[in-house]
Amino acid sequence: MNIDIKTQVVVLGGGPAGYSAAFRCSDLGLETVLIERYCNLGGVCLNVGCIPSKALLHIAKTIKEAKSLKHKGIDFNDISINLDQVRSWKSNIIAKLNNGLASMAKIRKIRIVNGFGKFVNAKTIVVENENKIIKIIFDNVILAAGSSPIKPTYFPYEANDNRIWDSTDALKLKEIPKSLLIIGGGIIGLEMATIYEALGSEISIIEINKQIIPSADEDVVKMFTATISNKFKIMLETKVTEIQSKHDGVYVSIKQKDYPDKIKRYDAVLIAIGRVPNRINLGLENIGVELDNNYIIVDKQMRTNIPHIYAIGDMVGQPMLAHKGIHEGHIAAEVISGLKHYFNPKVIPCISYTEPEIAWVGVTEKEAKEKNIQYKTSVFPWTCSGRATTSCCENGITKLIFDKKTNRIIGGAIVGSNGGELLGEISLGIEMCCDAQDIALTIHAHPTLYESIGLAAEIYEGTITDLINTQKANK
């Protein structure tokens, strides 16, 4: 069966970037078709990424807190884990959010076409779905096909071994291996480590760089590492040279700086070395969209080199974050509708939802040094926070980075429980060009974790009374 559709806008991909773009297009009065390969909207984030991982991380945190209370007079005895119930709970969360998206798409009268979309020419996409061939002719198209886990080529391994996982496999939670090696010490790897350690796995992490989470500042990572060093075995400046699948386990050849090469056996291996944009088999070669290192090149209006073709989300480069893609989707829709809007954010928050969380926003110290920005940092230790102490999460810091010339806040980082929830004030402060005094003179509720932001600003100002004042107040 052949079906022809004509529309004003086609959105290719139904993840956070794609469905946000489609919803915004509809709200602006544009006839919109959304192409999605799977039966549900939400993409990787909702179905096999952000949402299921946060559900499991919530369980991991609850297990940790329950165990810690044993030393405070409350003993829950042995914690038992029913994987079937955990998986069911996780699936119900995903289904609830899936249904919400489907309802919003229906209310907005967005036509959803399931299947793989491929460009025939710059104005036509063909979608094949079972026995249907759907030809969609459009005025504008927004590419939002997302990304997939990188499959390494620099060491051999048996791709069909169900003990060798990517992040999607790990979130299926089919079993809890006794020993789990995670290749990659970035955000995804560390979140999976947090989940599986809480569920009972012995965790080893291999990272090729000098520190885990290489994009974060060294002092922030050092604080985090000190907290989790008794949970995970972390091997830095280390490479995997081969993975051998045997009946009794997965054998990994490891090359570590300053150590002899070795082969270690694990019950499962998770490969979490990053993601690559989904651009293969889209037919981009048929229309001449320009690329840079596999990413689609766009301007600040999310427009490619072809004026009516836009691209957003993971397809256009780092950081590969849902909230970035959502904003890009809004911009693309607004530009198509005729608005003169641009994607030009000062900040894009980054969060590792580990325990404790690592969260940062704005300029890091690394970036400030690279850009020759004269800066000064101010760090408030959570050991001096009443709320952190009473909540058993005093292993944390709040760090602010200020421009030394203007005293304006340009960056910040949190290590601590629910640290990502504290980034809002820092992000807004940077966007609004607040200086240290603006933050310090804002009355923060006590006792709270977010008051650590105000206290860090007071340290910078030299007006803090909650700590010994080590510097003269700024005039």
pLDDT in tens, 267-311: 999 999 999 999 989 999 889 999 999 999 999 999 999 999 999
Could you give the CA distance from residue 261 to residue 255 in angstroms, rounded to a whole number?
5
Q: What is the pLDDT of residues 250-264, one digit of tens each?
A: 999 999 998 999 999
Under 8 Å CB-to-CB from 87, ≥6 apart: which residues?
172, 173
Give residue 472's pLDDT. 62
Chain region(s) in the chain for CATH 3.30.390.30? 350-461
What are the binding residues for NAD(+)? 184-191, 207, 274
Could you give the CA distance from residue 237 to residue 120 in angstroms, rounded to a whole number?
46
What Cα–Cα distance (Å) separates residue 109 from each residue in 11, 35, 140, 249, 465?
Answer: 14, 14, 18, 51, 58
Q: Tell how strand 397-403 and strand 375-381 pair up.
A: antiparallel
Q: What is the pLDDT of residues 382-420, one digit of tens each?
A: 999 999 999 999 999 999 999 999 999 999 999 999 999
Fold of 350-461: Enolase-like; domain 1 (3.30.390)
Give residue 77's pLDDT. 81
Chain region(s) in the chain for CATH 3.50.50.60? 2-149+276-336, 164-273
Could you give the CA distance from residue 282 to residue 12 in angstroms, rounded to a whole number?
10
* 474 pLDDT higher than 60: no
Token couple for 454: 């105000």
Give residue 210's pLDDT. 96
What are the binding residues? 54, 117, 184-191, 207, 274, 314, 320-323
Amino acid at 209: N
Mean pLDDT value across the chain: 95
Phi, psi of 388 (to 5 degrees): -65, -40
Q: Domain 164-273: give its CATH architecture.
A: 3-Layer(bba) Sandwich (3.50)
User: Percent of the chain beyond pLDDT 90?
Assistant: 91
Specify the DSSP element, H or E, that contains 332: helix 322-336
Phi, psi of 9 (to 5 degrees): -135, 135
What would the CATH number be for the domain defined by 2-149+276-336? 3.50.50.60
**Confidence band of 475 (pLDDT split at 50, 70, 90):** very low
Mean pLDDT, range 320-342, rounded to an integer: 98
Give residue 130's pLDDT. 80
Mean pLDDT, range 119-134, rounded to an integer: 92
Does residue 249 contact residue 219 with C-beta atoms inside 8 Å? Answer: no
Q: What is the pLDDT of residues 145-191, one digit of tens each?
A: 999 999 998 888 998 999 999 999 999 999 999 999 999 999 999 99
Q: What is the pLDDT of residues 352-381, one digit of tens each?
A: 999 999 999 999 999 999 999 999 999 999
Give residue 155's pLDDT. 86
What are the binding residues for FAD? 54, 117, 314, 320-323
DSSP 386-419: HHHHHTT--S-EEEEEEETTT-BEEEEEEEETTG
Could you give the CA distance from residue 159 to residue 391 in angstroms, rounded to a whole number?
44
* 460 pLDDT higher than 50: yes
Question: Nearest Cα to 168, choosing from 30, 272, 59?
Answer: 272
Give residue 223's pLDDT. 95
Give residue 49's pLDDT. 96
Amino acid at 401: I
Q: For residue 303, give the DSSP letter.
A: B
273 forms beta bridges with none
Q: For residue 142, give the DSSP letter.
A: E
Active site residues: 446
